[in-house]
Amino acid sequence: MSEFTGRRLPIYLVLDCSGSMAGEPIEAVRQGVKALIADLKGDPQALETAFLSVITFDSGARQVIPLTELMLFQEPNLDAAGSTALGEAIKLLEQAIDKEVKKSTPGQKGDWRPLVFIMTDGQPTDSWQVAADSIKSKKLGNIIACAAGPGADANPLKRITEIVVKLDNLQPDTLKQFFKWVSDSIKTTSASVQQVAADAPVGLPPPPPQIQSVP
């Protein structure tokens, strides 16, 4: 099958794999990603255009899955240990978007504006401010950040993006609801990714009760 040269919808998942996520929470995240993929595979638009990448962070950050088309995406093995290098993750995210996402030129079809979902359950342990300011100012994509559980700090996330939500806890059911909402957001945003004025805000579906918007 020849490479798809059309417009892709790039989706980046940036996931906290620090020690506090060990056990049930990280397993629930893994299941959540799996469910997200399965859900997207039921959406014809996602099947044709969605490309996903996973960046994980603990004491460091790595792009465990580069931007890959939905049909070929295999959910990653996620282990949890170490601290919370959110700054490195953001920096890596910026680099990944720069490298992987195609811009519109007279001769090349640009991708749709990337969708980014960041999830953390704690406080960043590295210096994250510069990276946060950088990515916010560049308006590289529509970033949705999630502060998961009681130990999560929403403030750093607020510096990265306007759209921040909070999860009450890290229970499997809560995380399941979160990933379902991520999937719905992708599908809804896809509807409005066609033809938006450059600065138009992305319209997201209302979050379920376990997820509250952080104003």
Partner 1 sequence: MPVRIREEDFVKIIRWKLGLPGGGENLADVQQKWAELQKNPAEYKHVVEQVSLRLGHLLAAALRAKITGEPSANFAWSSELSDLFVKWAKDNERAVSPKLSGTILAAVKGKAPPTQARPAPPMVRPIPKKPTGLHPQAGQSPTPPPLPPPLPTRLAIPNEQPPPLPSVDPPPMLEVIEPIAPAPTDWDPNVSEQQAGSPPPSMWQYKGLPNDPEQHTEHDARAMANPPEGFKVFGARVRGKKHKHDGTNCDDWFEFGQSGPWTVIAVADGAGSYKFSRIGAKVACETAVKELAADLGKVSLERRDTVAEWAAAQAQSPIHYQFAGRDIQDVQKAMYRAVRKAFQAVKTAHEERSGSPEYEACLPPNRRPLDIKEFSSTLLLAVHHAVRVDGKDWSFVMACQVGDGMTGAIHKHGTAHPLGTADSGSYSGETEFLTSSGKTDEPYLAKKIHAFLGPVQAIVVMTDGVADDYFPGTEHLGRLWGDLVVNRIPEVIVPGDEEIANAISGTGLPTLDELKAANIGVSAEVIDGRTPRNTVHLKSSEDYAEKLQISVEALLKHPTVLLAGTQTPGKLEGATSEDRLRVWLDAYHVRGSFDDRTLVVMHREALP
Q: Where on the chain is the footprint of partner 1 (CB under 8 A)?
A: 1-2, 4, 6-8, 42, 44-45, 47-49, 69, 71, 103-104, 106-107, 109-113, 191-198, 200, 203
Tokens 């993929």, located at residue: 37
What is the distance between the alpha carbons of residues 175 and 210, in angstroms, rounded to a whole number?
9
**Closer residue to partner 1, CB minimum distance, 49 or 120:** 49
Nearest Cα to 183, choosing from 152, 151, 214, 207?
207
- Shortest Cβ distance from residue 18 to partner 1 (Å)? 32
- Shortest Cβ distance from residue 30 to partner 1 (Å)? 25
**Residue 80 three-state SS:** coil
**Closer residue to partner 1, CB minimum distance, 9 or 17:** 9
- Shortest Cβ distance from residue 135 to partner 1 (Å)? 16
**Closer residue to partner 1, CB minimum distance, 15 or 93:** 93
Strand segments (E) across the chain: 9-16, 50-57, 61-69, 115-120, 142-148, 163-167, 211-214
CA 26 to centroid of chain Cα atoms: 16
Tokens of 64: 């465990």
- Shortest Cβ distance from residue 85 to partner 1 (Å)? 28
**Closer residue to partner 1, CB minimum distance, 104 or 127:** 104
